[in-house]
Structure 1
Amino acid sequence: MRKTELFLLICILLLLAGCWDERLLKNSRTVYLSGFDLNENGDYQITSIIRDMNISESSRGEISILNELVTGKGSSIKEASMTIDRSVPGNYDPAKGRALILGIDVAKGDIYNVLDAFYRDPRVDLNAKIAVTDNSANELIAHLSENEVEKGEYLYELIHSSEINSEIQNITLRSIRTYLFDEGKDFMLPYLSKDEAENEVIINGVALFHDHSFTGQLLTPAESTLLILFMEKKSKQVLLTEQLDKDANVSVSYNVKSVSRKLKLRKEEKVHADILLELDVEIVDYPPDQLNKQERISFLEIQISKILTEKADNLFKKLAANQSDILGLGREIIAFYPSIWEEIKGENYYEQILVNPKVKVNVRSGGIVL
């Protein structure tokens, strides 16, 4: 019995001996935000914010948080990271980064050249957000308010808030990889810029991607919201406003309660994608009122449907001009019409698809008027 207990004790001690690849937190310099640029020589430049927490012995253990801005250059992302690692005390550790910011030059190239190093590190947070900036990622990160201590969290929450409002597509380091290696669909990323007047970073729409690269085309928040509705990816809230009469300054605001989409593909000279988007909405702002009358409800349904159909038509023309298949029509054709895909497949297959959108709006509620 004693021999058995001794044997079990030895086994337990071996298990508690530690891990061969352990990395002590006290030796790590934790990165919460990183940006990536290309310099004039074609080398990568990484800009990171490292957070240090100092515990004051003289102030009864009061914790102060300091942010340090560090940069490194190299011919690859890993080499640039090693440059930073050699310039800071401790181990440069980008695994906890909450947001990755791509400079405009990096975004217009193959962004997988940047992301590859992250996928090869098992400690990386795959829920990190990815965004594009209108200039240099270095400038944008340095521009963040000095009063904003948790800069990584600030950008993360800024992006997350727009996702909740269905203004941008929900893309993370994990999910973007499925788009990068799918020949039948593309994606869009939040587009960040500096608001000089307010001295803050804002989301100024979304950047359209084709394959692995930014096309150079942007969508406004209203356009990206409409596209998300066509994708049936509505989040918790979708609030839209339409101008009904510019001369009389009459507009209507409404909240989209539910979405349904019907897609029909047919082959003629081109592949025609007939899409019917049906929206159930709740009116939240309409000063002319009279929503207790069916005639006024029918009027609003017709007007909003007409406006959204025109906007959708312009939206899909913009997508076609940039070969950006955000809706994933190529994936639909691959799955259900493989013979058609064999005829049109290739890098520019979207040229062979003609989208015919139609929006039908149903007013289900006029809100409560006291």
Structure 2
Amino acid sequence: MNTNRWSVDKYVDEYESYPQIIQAAELLKKNEVVAFPTETVYGLGGNAENDEAVAKIFAAKGRPSDNPLIIHIADIAKLHDFVAHVPEKAKKLMDKFWPGPLTIIFQKKAGKLSNKATAGLSTVAVRMPADPVALAIIKQSGIPIAAPSANRSGRPSPTTAEHVWEDLNGKIAGIIDGGPTGVGVESTVLDCTANVPTILRPGGITKEQLESVIGAVNVDPALVDNGKAPKSPGMKYRHYAPNAPLYLVDGTKEFLQKLVNEKRMEGHIVGILTTEENKQYYEGDYVYACGKRNDLPTVASSLYEALRFFNRTDVDIIYSEMFFNEGVGLAIMNRLMKAAAHRVINENE
């Protein structure tokens, strides 16, 4: 398949009249799949009402069919086409955080969406992206867009069009290049069908932000205990992993450097994932500073590029620092834990 690639300027108005946007929307209406930027990561969009289009998303990604897709809309009125009930707490969150990096799970209204998009579940996950290019494509197409991250399953999510090209060139109809994404990690997924809304995936909106609007919010225990089964089907799969094995190091900088030295003495090529504050303390074959420890959103926005950076090197093992499970740190650690297959080396054990 020939993959079209278009560039758009995010800093101009009237996106819906752009020829690139119109072409991409026409492909979506013909049940092809197209990658486009959102404020979190690049999404791989297809017509959420059509089984054929949804099947193409799963095929291009190599994604398991029991992993439901997030439905993207550009108009809250469209929500009522396929959502059975909007709880009051969900309304408050939509007022505060939509458009934005928050996905809300609702009870599904039968008959509108492809059952493949929701993996046959009675619920549906919906968000309204904040990126103007994404909103323009959805509006121009006139259909709800199912859109997981635009990467091959298991690999680090894409935060640039080049990342999408690396993974999906020849597998999809088109890619719209809108420049690097901002947030850098996927949206927060919040189940609002529960009595107490529950975070199934931490992301761009923090638990603290959610609670400031609606009060108590739970966190799926599986996010902090690898022994528990996750409530979100997709969270049981391996995600975000670089090619080389990644190990998280719970300990001092000196301990991490000791691990690096031992592996290098054995002839290994070692990568270190750190922050700008700590980069000076390490010596390895490849040392990548992934944002600032005292400004965790910069770590989130750089995380997937850091993991992909190591894929472009000849490292055969990677050691990473850890972060506190608070605020955006919860999302960062969730992605790192899954990328490392929960491999943690503790200095005190």
- TM-score normalised by length of structure 1: 0.27
Q: Which is higher, the Rg of structure 1 or of structure 2?
A: 1
Bigger relative contact order, structure 1 or 2 (CA pairs below 8 A, ≥6 apart):
2
Larger strand percent:
1
- TM-score normalised by length of structure 2: 0.28
